Structure 1
Amino acid sequence: MLTEQRKALITQRLDRDGEIVAKALASELGLSEDTIRRDLRELAAEGRLKRVHGGALPMSPALPDLTARQTVATEEKQALARRAAALIEPRQVVFLDGGTTTAEIARALPRHFIFTVVTHSPTIACELERHPTAEVVLIGGKLFTHSMVAMGAAALAAIRALRADIFFMGVTAAHTAEGFSTGDMEEAATKRTIAENSAATYVLLTQAKLNAASPWKIMPITAADGIIVPPGLPAGTLDPYRSLDIEIIEA
């Protein structure tokens, strides 16, 4: 089998199965494991998959900037946001991450009791300009314009000085073995610090983010208290998550 034929087969299997196990594929094709690993390295260099220990996973696609993402999967994000907002209780301190899904949470927040919203995203803070009961705390720092969030030493110092009751974290990918991940190293570190300083962390996941991986790991799946997922996912999509010690909430 020629190299390009093997690569085509690998990408087809990845689309079908959601993962490649190098040893199993090598045995099936009667090839050395080193040959399959070389193919995986080359495909990873081409941005067509994410190499992991023992094989490969689908690569979460690079996200466009915040403005472009605002029209992607809007109804799905709104359903997730409504379910997330229903978890908030009176007088809690709620940390909202940056991103378009958490912007939908900001729009769905309760309006009949008092609570505090902390965010390092100026766009999220602006969503709450006319909210009648939310006290808003905006954390500052160096602005990462791709996601419109503050990062760096000043932001981390402020985050470590607070204790949120609940953190709604945005990610670009989630996988039971590779954890929650995102596309930027500093952003991953910031999200991890927020989670470490929150009593509970929930992650909202559109279907496209499930069972994929991005370059920078934030934390293991089990480090979160729960994931909020769309209803009606294809059969078997959530099976790998059900064996973990984590709450699964369908919107």
Structure 2
Amino acid sequence: MAANKKSLRQQRILGELDHEPSLRIIDLAERLGVSTETIRRDFDELTQQGLINRTYGGAVRRQSSEPGLNERHKLHIAERELIARQAMPVLAGARHIMIGSGATTVHVAKRLAVTMNDLTVITHSFGVATVLAINPTIRVIMAPGLYHAQEGAMHGAQTIRFLENYRVEWAILGASGLDGDGASDAMIDASEVYAVMMERATRSMIVADHTKFNQSFPARYCEWNGVDVLVSDQKPLGALGETIRAAGCVIKAKQPD
């Protein structure tokens, strides 16, 4: 009977994670009417089975792929708006920036459009270019290449060759996952573009919300010692936070409640 209850409870946990990108232990324990220690043991077992990833104080569903850009735009809007606001003081005074594709980078571009002037932005993302267009003082240079409809961005050898002709002050990049080894993306083609943007920038910034913590995807495009600033809605804690800080990367984030 106890084993059956545990199995049902763990199925319920996985079901909850299908609808919510992340769950906190304390919230889930209250929701299921069990102790936090019980939830921790469930999380440990589900992690060993490769079904979830543990985060500080909670868990996220393990994924080998990422939803399309249109779906991602509907998620974590408040968190992404917070990230965009926190990024602005760091970018103050910049005149030349490269911006990668993604839902969070579009939010950063929106904030750039209303807070900064006399700026040149080089991007391969149509979403980024579109939101910057509201500010006539921002010059947008669109990289050519092979169009990826699901991401609304250009990729491929032509994109990379084009970007190699430029040098900028900042590269602003998103990520599908952040773990102790660095930042990774679900799309190999996108990660190749991000890596070149970092090479052509004096400083680099990763913008990603807390659901990306302790997630790993196939295409790793940088290690933490190559990132100057991580901007998020929460500070990564535990081993991940220690690894990022030890690499010399500055974390700019709202302290978790």
The alignment status of 1:119 with 2:118, answered yes or no, reads no
Q: Provide, for residues 97-146 of structure 1, a one-character-per-residue CA deviation record: whole Å limited to 9, x for no partner.
A: 11110111111115453111111111211112221321111111101222
The residue type equivalent to 1:228 in the other structure is: V
Match of 2:138 in 1: 134
CA distance in 1, matches of 2:94, 2:175: 26
Match of 1:220 in 2: 223
The alignment status of 1:163 with 2:170, answered yes or no, reads no
CA distance in 2, matches of 1:209, 1:64: 13
After superposition, the Cα gap between the structure-2 partners of 1:116 and 1:62, relative to the gap in structure 1 and judged at 3 Å, is same
Deviation of 1:14 (Å): 9.2
Q: 3-state DSSP class of the match of 2:91?
A: coil
Q: Over the residues paired in the alignment, what is the CA RMSD in angstroms?
A: 3.0
The alignment status of 1:106 with 2:109, answered yes or no, reads yes
The alignment status of 1:150 with 2:150, answered yes or no, reads no
Deviation of 1:96 (Å): 1.2
CA distance in 1, matches of 2:195, 2:249: 17
Structure 2 unaligned segments of length 5 or more: list them: 1-6, 15-39, 54-59
Structure 1 unaligned segments of length 5 or more: list them: 21-42, 51-56
Match of 2:182 in 1: 179
Match of 1:89 in 2: 92
Match of 1:28 in 2: none
Match of 1:245 in 2: 248
Q: 3-state DSSP class of the match of 1:200?
A: strand
Which moved further from structure 2: 186-195 or 234-243?
234-243
Higher helix share: 2
Identity of matched residues, %: 18
Deviation of 1:66 (Å): 1.0
Match of 1:196 in 2: 199
Q: 3-state DSSP class of the match of 1:87?
A: helix
CA distance in 2, matches of 1:146, 1:117: 22
CA distance in 2, matches of 1:160, 1:232: 33
**Equivalent pairs, count:** 211
CA distance in 2, matches of 1:175, 1:167: 20
Match of 1:29 in 2: none
Deviation of 1:15 (Å): 3.9
Does the CA-based 8 Å contact 1:60-1:173 persist in structure 2?
A: no
Match of 1:35 in 2: none
The residue type equivalent to 2:149 in the other structure is: T
Does the CA-based 8 Å contact 2:186-2:219 persist in structure 1?
A: yes
Does the CA-based 8 Å contact 1:18-1:58 persist in structure 2?
A: no
CA distance in 2, matches of 1:147, 1:243: 33
Deviation of 1:244 (Å): 2.4
CA distance in 2, matches of 1:85, 1:58: 31
